[in-house]
A and B are shown apart, each in its own frame.
Chain A
Amino acid sequence: MKTVGNVSALVVAGVGLVGLAALSLAVGDARLSFAQIWDGLLRRDEFAATIVWSIRMPRLLVGLLVGAALSASGLVMQAYFRNGLASPGLLGVSAGGAAGAVVAIGCGLAAVSLLTVPLFAVAGALAATGAVILLARRGASTERLLLAGVALNALLGAVTSYVLSAHTLTYERNAQILFWLIGGLEDRTWEHVWMAAPIVPAALWLLPLGRPMDLLSLGAEEAQSLGVDVRRLRRRLLGLSTVLTALATAVAGTVGFVGLVVPHILRLLVGPEHRALVPLSLVAGAAFVVGCDLAGRAAGDLRLGIVTALVGGPFFLWLLRRDER
């Protein structure tokens, strides 16, 4: 049911995003006033500038990119599988990205180039996506889709843990495993921002696909008969959603439920039309992740992945219950 106009929803999400981003720059261990933050942003205060530009800005930007990517990726998967419960975390695509990234790190390839980790993450996520498609055909029942995701998540989580166990020193092993299995935005640097930067063109490429996504989400054959080049659209959607998830995972580990919660709330607010949902999911997803990160920091350094799971887990259960009726 449409209760809010699309443009006003986009404006609200945008304003919320800017507000949360400003807060995210302002809040942290080092207590700085808004005036000092402003001076830091303009590099008029060297101390504040270091805090803002070296620590908080990369964390904020990685958060924005990760949120936009995961949220849009979930939206795309829901249209693709014609199932409102599909999302990168539940289907194991995030876990595939994490496993790929960890393999690159474990084999010592991360130092070779800035591109290695994201490329391996994309490869891992693609493998997971391929497996999901084999296990649960399009339009598959929720049960089948989710069971395939459970199996993949367990398997890929084990791969990630094994590789880290075999290649890291004992004392940092647990921290590393934790980072990849429950993602977070701690200690993110500009390097991570650049790694995740291709999220921007991938997201822009998604924008014109909203209308054909409407048709696809009601059935592939119907869409084809109405003039959509379904094969090409599907290839593009799957490629983009996989790359988006993989890049997000490569810089922040597996952050669950973003791709499930954000599109669902947006659908409740503005209806199911993808021309509105695609841009909204990018903006609102970014705001959601930055907001969750802020909440986690306020609650005493709770990791991002824990906060999104705390929000998303109950939400998911509520959706399952509602779907049963």
Chain B
Amino acid sequence: MSAQGKGGGGAALALALENVSVPGRLHELSLEVGAGKMVGLVGPNGSGKSTLLAVAAGLLPSVAPGVVRWAGEAVAGIPGLERGRRTAWVPQEARFEFGFSVRSVVGQGRYAHGDDGAGVAEALERFGLGRIAERAVDRLSGGERHRVLLARAWATGAALQLWDEPLAALDPRHGLETLMLGRELTRAGRTLVFSLHDLRVAHCLDEVVVLHEGRLRAAGAPEKVLTPELLREVFGVTARVEPGLTLFL
């Protein structure tokens, strides 16, 4: 169980999973994420990170009696269009069959807002896509395609952002920029939960959630959670943890 949001009794939960199970993938997992937090989801391949994000996004149902809540409200009761306004989800794979323009795909982030186009130009600029806005997405490189999906999620303006491995396909510069954009979101009161593998990044997060074999293994501030013992147990590697940096040996 992760610590609640900052200050005072009124601190809201942006996301809560209660006893969520997906057969063979997640086992009675409970998790709370406070509003305005930047939370990293770590764990070995197959530990359930993508499944957790899909369940949190309301895309994959949990076995009863598991419940997913956004800002206290059960997701099952929220109509489709409103879900699109409240939460954005970025898949791990960026595959496009048809040649929509970059601008058009980012514009899809405004579907639930009646396609008003608000903030699309800004999202394109923020993710460095302004120059290629008219290019067809099926002709882009892997990293560029990922940035298109991230920009689309940004354009939704949703309060809860769930990104599945946003950094994996990006070069160091764009990876860093994406982290900074994520931080900007949380400063503005939005909540970002994303999965990642590069633990060197973990120390700039508010919280880290460690998954292992479909169960929650640990959650909390990165420096408290990412101990050499835990890393050895979960990842099977020997690591040295120094303030602000995790190094594998």
- Which residues of chain A have a CB within 8 Å of any CB of chain B? 1-2, 82-84, 211-212, 214-215, 217-219, 221-222, 224-229, 267, 271-273
Is there contact, CB below 8 Å, between B101 and A221? no
The answer to whether residues A226 and B97 also contact, given A218-B105, A219-B91 and a CB cut-off of 8 A, is: no
Bound: A1/B105 CA distance, A: 14
Interface string of B63-107 (1 = CB under 8 A from A): 000000000000000001111110111010001111111001100
Among A214, A227, A267, A273, the residue within 8 A (CB) of B83 is A227
Is there contact, CB below 8 Å, between B89 and A227? no
Is there contact, CB below 8 Å, between A215 and B111? yes
Among B100, B111, B115, the residue within 8 A (CB) of A272 is B100
Contacts of A272 in B (CB 8 A): 98-100
Is there contact, CB below 8 Å, between B111 and A228? yes
Is there contact, CB below 8 Å, between A217 and B98? yes
The answer to whether residues A226 and B112 also contact, given A1-B99, A217-B97, A221-B91 and a CB cut-off of 8 A, is: yes
Bound: A234/B83 CA distance, A: 18
Does B157 reach chain A (CB closer than 8 Å)? Answer: no
Among A83, A225, A271, the residue within 8 A (CB) of B97 is A83
Does B204 reach chain A (CB closer than 8 Å)? Answer: no
Is there contact, CB below 8 Å, between A226 and B104? no
Contacts of B111 in A (CB 8 A): 211-212, 215, 226-228
Contacts of B178 in A (CB 8 A): none
Bound: A294/B108 CA distance, A: 41
20 more contacts with CB within 8 A, not counting A215-B108, A217-B97, A227-B85, are: A84-B98, A211-B111, A212-B111, A217-B98, A218-B96, A218-B108, A219-B91, A221-B54, A221-B89, A222-B149, A225-B57, A225-B83, A225-B87, A225-B89, A226-B108, A227-B81, A227-B84, A227-B112, A228-B111, A272-B98
Give the residue name and chain of the A residue nearest to B60 (CB): A221
Is there contact, CB below 8 Å, between B115 and A222? no
Does B48 reach chain A (CB closer than 8 Å)? Answer: no
Give the residue name and chain of the A residue nearest to B110 (CB): A226
20 contacting pairs across A/B (C-beta < 8 A): A2-B101, A83-B97, A84-B98, A215-B108, A217-B98, A218-B108, A219-B95, A221-B59, A222-B89, A222-B149, A224-B59, A225-B59, A225-B88, A226-B84, A226-B111, A226-B112, A227-B80, A227-B85, A228-B111, A267-B99
Among A2, A215, A217, A222, the residue within 8 A (CB) of B91 is A222
Contacts of B105 in A (CB 8 A): 218
Contacts of B104 in A (CB 8 A): 214, 273
Is there contact, CB below 8 Å, between A214 and B108? yes
Does B109 reach chain A (CB closer than 8 Å)? Answer: yes
Report the minimal beta-carbon distance from A123 to chain B, rounded to whole angstroms.
30
Bound: A211/B87 CA distance, A: 20
Interface centre among B96, B108, B115 (most CB of A within 10 A): B108
Is there contact, CB below 8 Å, between A211 and B115? yes
Does B136 reach chain A (CB closer than 8 Å)? Answer: yes
Report the minimal beta-carbon distance from B190 to chain A, rounded to whole angstroms.
16
Bound: A82/B112 CA distance, A: 22
Interface centre among A214, A225, A267 (most CB of B within 10 A): A225
Contacts of B81 in A (CB 8 A): 227, 229
Contacts of B95 in A (CB 8 A): 219
The answer to whether residues A273 and B100 also contact, given A1-B136, A222-B91, A229-B80 and a CB cut-off of 8 A, is: yes
Bound: A235/B84 CA distance, A: 20
Contacts of A215 in B (CB 8 A): 108, 111
Is there contact, CB below 8 Å, between A228 and B80? yes
Report the minimal beta-carbon distance from B80 to chain A, rounded to whole angstroms.
4
Contacts of A227 in B (CB 8 A): 80-85, 111-112
Give the residue name and chain of the A residue nearest to B54 (CB): A221
Bound: A84/B138 CA distance, A: 13
Interface string of B31-61 (1 = CB under 8 A from A): 0000000000000000000000010011100
Report the minimal beta-carbon distance from A52 to chain B, rounded to whole angstroms.
42
